[in-house]
Chain A
Amino acid sequence: MNTTTAADNVAVDADNSTSPLLVVEDIHTSFMVPGGEVKAVRGVSFELNQGKTLGVVGESGSGKTVLARSVMRLNLGNNVITSGSAKFRGSNILDLRPKAMQKLWGNEIAMVFQDPMTALNPLVKVGRQVTEHVRHHLGISKKEARSLAIDLLNEVRIPEPENRLDSYPHELSGGMRQRICIAIALACEPTLLFADEPTTALDVTVQHQILNLLNREQETREMGMVLVTHDLGVVAGRTDETMVMYAGNVVEKSSTKELFEDMQHPYTEALFRSIPKTSERSHTRLTAIAGRPPDLIAPPSGCSFSPRCPYVQQKCREEEPPLIPVNNGSHFSACWFPVGTEENQEAFRKNVAAGLPQTLVIEETLTKSSEKEDGV
């Protein structure tokens, strides 16, 4: 689409080509509920360049979806409090008036949701759903819209697009519905795409197809993409940068390659260790993360992962670690005792000696698996 027009509408940054597409600074989002204030996102900052994919990974309740929805301004209701800024092409989305926001939604910024069944209107034919916002934003005729819809459906590899346009969502499989949702998101050629768990509801072969599709579209259209997922496997293969979230905070952020090569934060390490992998032998003992995610109404003092961390020290319980650069400066981690350091090893030994349960579990699993390896 004509990106300059939309950009004109929204105060333009003088130098579009080099500045990041999206700059998010210190976003906080809370929900006021009868029990208190649920601090879902607690100060997240990131940048995204055109043509790049940022993976946001974490467990349920880590704030990854709320973060995406905050930037999209989709957290509705009068109990939501959002602060911070999200500059898209230089202008703060969070300050825009609803009218200006409408010009962005679906046009410049689009979103693909987790559940393709509930994301589509069950009473409206697919064709109209694909073109409704195109006609609104681009003001094209019904006929032009229909031929654009056919092109889009072809592009997302839906067979017999002419016939499909007259189908209702329930007549399509889950994978096909997600393709339709992607076609809708791509229709106005957005420059920024949020994909919130786009393949979680799908089978593994369909997931592979949909992720291939998203990657291809993102590359050819040079979109910036934020891929929210709980699956480290999806992040590993499909993103340039990864941000790991825990309890509303970013605990680690780095290029995806470096993140997997050189994990710094104990939570990232724990997450990685806890997943079964097809490359491991069957009956490999999994290193589960002890305990449960914290209560976001009253998060623990200090580091929010400290109650579950095998390396926890007194300092971690008292002082919240800042997200600071490690090594080359593009890798950030928020931990007083980063994985792989001498201090970290020392903390582990101390906790083993002190008999801290979450540390003993890890130690036991590690010894068992190394014994097994030696035995083979």
Chain B
Amino acid sequence: MAGSGKAHLRPEDETLIRVEDLVVEYDIPGGDTVKAVSGISFDIKAGETLGLVGESGCGKSTTGKALIQLPKPSSGSVKHNLVELTGLSSEAMRRRRTDLQMIFQDPISSLNPLRKVEDIVAEPMKIWGPKDKSKQQEMVDNILDAVGIDPEQARGKLAHEFSGGQCQRISIARSLILDPEVLICDEPVSALDVSMQAQILNLLEDLKKKYHLTLVFIAHDLAVVKNISDKVAVMYLGKLCEVAQSDELYENPVHPYSKLLLDSCPEPDPTVVIDQTVSDDDELPSPINPPSGCRFRTRCPFATEICSTEEPQMEEIRPNHYVACHHPLT
């Protein structure tokens, strides 16, 4: 995996977001470079939900942030509506971000604890929205209502007066107030209890329909990602492994890493036989010094000589099912 290639990309004019050869690297003290994302390409059609899944450190959050140029990627291209974002001035990018919004993992710390809910949600409008105060108020009330928060009660309250699930609703309201096209959700439910998680996932599905949103959904929980995504991309150590429609990918994972992830996922069914044979001590290699060739080879049970010398490229293994692996499971 851990491969490159663009065989899986669709014609450019059919897509809303198109990312090519995205590279994000950070210099760290000591002269080393963290290779967080190393040349990945993907695209998203309008109205589609793309799930990015992988373990911590695989670069999925970095990829999400690179879409809105926070920070600008080290190299590669990110296009939104055919416009290249990496070349935009910071002022032009600022305008563009009204169409590209993001929500984060920890709903409580992403809200300012000292400000009232109505001010938090209205903040984006101070810059880009209607100047008319009563119009602003109306929009705040509408969006709070749409995310399932009673505006009458919530308006004057502070973030700490709400539960985690409600805070996530408020941050969703804030992200939607300027009517964006794309909502990037970075682990939006992983800090929540299962009952709250279901409410937020259902809410995102409803809002997606209501506001014609395109979603990028980043999460480590495979079941959550499958539930909400149309298409899923599996990431490992800064590379893409496998891209397919979600039902197809979960039924027929062909990349050994996707298979490992799925086999590790605990199913709420006591009759499922648990694989006790999985390697017991393999660890994610360092993104400072990733393995040559296929980055997954150090943990892959099928790795051979070629995996260390040649990086696998994306190939269509079944209709609309792409994998970057020298030894796909077929």
Q: Is B228 an interface residue (CB 8 A)?
A: yes
Interface residues of A in 188-243 (CB under 8 A from B): 203-209, 211-213, 215-216, 230-238
Contacts of A304 in B (CB 8 A): none
Q: Which residues of B contact A271 (CB under 8 A)?
A: 194-195
A257 CB–B CB distance under 8 Å: yes
Q: Are B269 and A278 in contact (CB under 8 A)?
A: no
B223 at the A interface (CB under 8 A): yes
Chain A positions 286-311 with a Cβ under 8 Å from a chain B Cβ = 286-289, 292
The answer to whether B220 and A203 touch across the interface, beta carbons within 8 angstroms, is yes
Cβ-based interface call for A280 (8 A): yes
Query: Chain A residue with minimal CB distance to B280?
Result: A157
* Chain B residues whose C-beta falls within 8 Å of the C-beta of A215 in the assembled complex: 276
Q: Within 8 Å of chain B (Cβ to Cβ): is A270? A: yes
Q: Does A97 contact B (CB under 8 A)?
A: no
Q: Does A272 contact B (CB under 8 A)?
A: yes
CB neighbours of B275 from chain A (8 A):
208
CB interface residues, B 262-281, toward A, < 8 Å: 262-272, 274-276, 278-281
- Whether A277 touches B267, Cβ cut-off 8 Å, given contacts A59-B194, A230-B194, A282-B227, is yes
A372–B131 Cα gap in the complex (Å)? Answer: 45
Given contacts A236-B270, A275-B194, contact A212 B223 (CB under 8 A): no
Contacts of B264 in A (CB 8 A): 204-205, 207-208
Indicate whether A278 sits within 8 Å of B226 (C-beta atoms), given known contacts A260-B269, A283-B205: yes
Residue A50 at the B interface, CB < 8 A? no
Query: A283 with B280: in contact, given A204-B222, A277-B268, A288-B199 (CB under 8 Å)?
Result: no
Residues of B within 8 A of A70 (CB): none
Bound complex: CA of A287 vs CA of B227, how far in Å? 12
> Which chain B positions have C-beta within 8 A of A90?
none
**Size bin of chain B's contact surface:** 35 or more
Task: State the total of A-B contacts with C-beta under 8 angstroms.
Answer: 141
Distance in angstroms between the alpha carbons of A256 and B224 in the assembled complex: 24
> Which B residues lie within 8 Å of A60 (CB)?
193
How far, in Å, is A226 (CB) from chain B's closest CB?
18
A248 in contact (CB, < 8 A):
no
Answer yes or no: B283 CB below 8 A from chain A CBs: yes
- Chain B residues 203 to 259 lying within 8 A of chain A, measured CB to CB, are 205, 220-224, 226-230, 246-247, 250
* Bound complex: CA A216 to CA B226 (Å): 31
Question: Can you list, as one digit per residue, whether each of B59-81 has a CB less than 8 Å from chain A (1) or not (0)?
Answer: 00000000000000000000000
Q: In this assembly, does A284 line the interface, its C-beta being within 8 Å of a C-beta of chain B?
A: yes
Q: Does B109 contact A (CB under 8 A)?
A: no
Q: How far is the CB of A224 from chain B (nearest CB, A)?
A: 19
List the A side residues contacting B270 at CB < 8 Å: 236-237, 256-257, 260
B214 nearest CB across to chain A (Å) = 15
**Chain A proximity of B290: nearest CB distance (Å):** 16
Give Cα A288 to B165, complex, Å. 12
Q: A60-B193, A278-B222, A278-B250 are in contact. Are A203 and B266 (CB under 8 A)?
A: no
Give Cα distance in the complex from A283 to B280, angstroms. 34
Q: How far is the CB of A367 from chain B (nearest CB, A)?
A: 15
In the assembled complex, the CB of B1 is this many whole angstroms from the nearest CB of chain A, namely 14
Given contacts A276-B227, A278-B262, contact A236 B267 (CB under 8 A): yes
A176 at the interface (CB under 8 A from B): yes
B34 within 8 A of A: no
B226→A288 contact, CB < 8 A: no
By beta carbon, the residue of chain A nearest B224 is A276
Q: A282 touching B194 by the CB < 8 A rule?
A: no
- Let me know if B227 and A280 touch, CB within 8 A: yes
In the complex the two chains form, is A275's CB within 8 Å of B265's CB? no
Q: Which chain B residues lie closer than 8 Å to A274 at the CB level?
A: 194-195, 197-198
Contact of B55 among A205, A211, A280 (CB under 8 A): A205
Q: Are B193 and A283 in contact (CB under 8 A)?
A: no
A175 near B267 with CB under 8 A, answer no
| Residues 174-207 (chain B) with a chain A CB within 8 angstroms | 193-195, 197-199, 201-202, 205
Contact (Cβ within 8 A) B220 A233: no
Q: Which residues of B contact A59 (CB under 8 A)?
A: 193-195
A207 and B221 CA atoms in complex are apart in Å by 12
- Nearest CB of chain A from residue B206's CB, rounded to whole Å: 10
Interface residue B163 (Cβ < 8 Å from any Cβ of A): yes
Q: Which of A204, A207, A270 has the most CB of B within 10 A?
A: A204
- B261-A282 in contact (CB<8A): no
Complex CA–CA separation, A274 to B201 (angstroms): 10
Distance in angstroms from B71 CB to nearest chain A CB is: 25
B283:A236 contact, CB within 8 angstroms: no
Residues of A contacting B205 in the complex (Cβ-Cβ under 8 angstroms): 283, 285
Measured CB to CB, the nearest residue on chain B to A257 is B270
Interface presence of A340 (CB below 8 A): no
A136 at the interface (CB under 8 A from B): no
Q: Quick check: is B260 within 8 A (CB to CB) of the other chain? A: yes
B154 to chain A, nearest CB (A): 14
- The answer to whether the Cβ of B112 comes within 8 Å of any Cβ in the partner chain is no
Question: A270: which B residues are within 8 A, CB to CB?
Answer: 195
B56 at the interface (CB under 8 A from A): yes
Contacts of B284 in A (CB 8 A): 173
A18 interface contact, C-beta 8 A: no
Q: Is A159 an interface residue (CB 8 A)?
A: yes
List of A residues within 8 angstroms of B226 by Cβ: 276, 278, 280, 282
Bound: A209/B261 CA distance, A? 12
Of the listed residues A230, A257, A285, the one surrounded by the most CB atoms of chain B closer than 10 A to its CB is A285
| Nearest 3 CB-CB pairings of A with B | A233-B266, A276-B227, A208-B264
Between A and B, 15 residue pairs with Cβ closer than 8 Å are: A157-B280, A203-B55, A204-B261, A205-B278, A207-B264, A208-B264, A208-B275, A230-B194, A236-B269, A236-B270, A275-B198, A278-B223, A281-B247, A282-B228, A283-B230
B residues sitting closer than 8 Å to A (CB atoms) are 55-56, 163, 165, 193-195, 197-199, 201-202, 205, 220-224, 226-230, 246-247, 250, 260-272, 274-276, 278-281, 283-284
Which of A's residues lie within 8 Å of B, judged by CB? 59-60, 157-159, 173, 175-176, 203-209, 211-213, 215-216, 230-238, 256-257, 260, 270-272, 274-289, 292
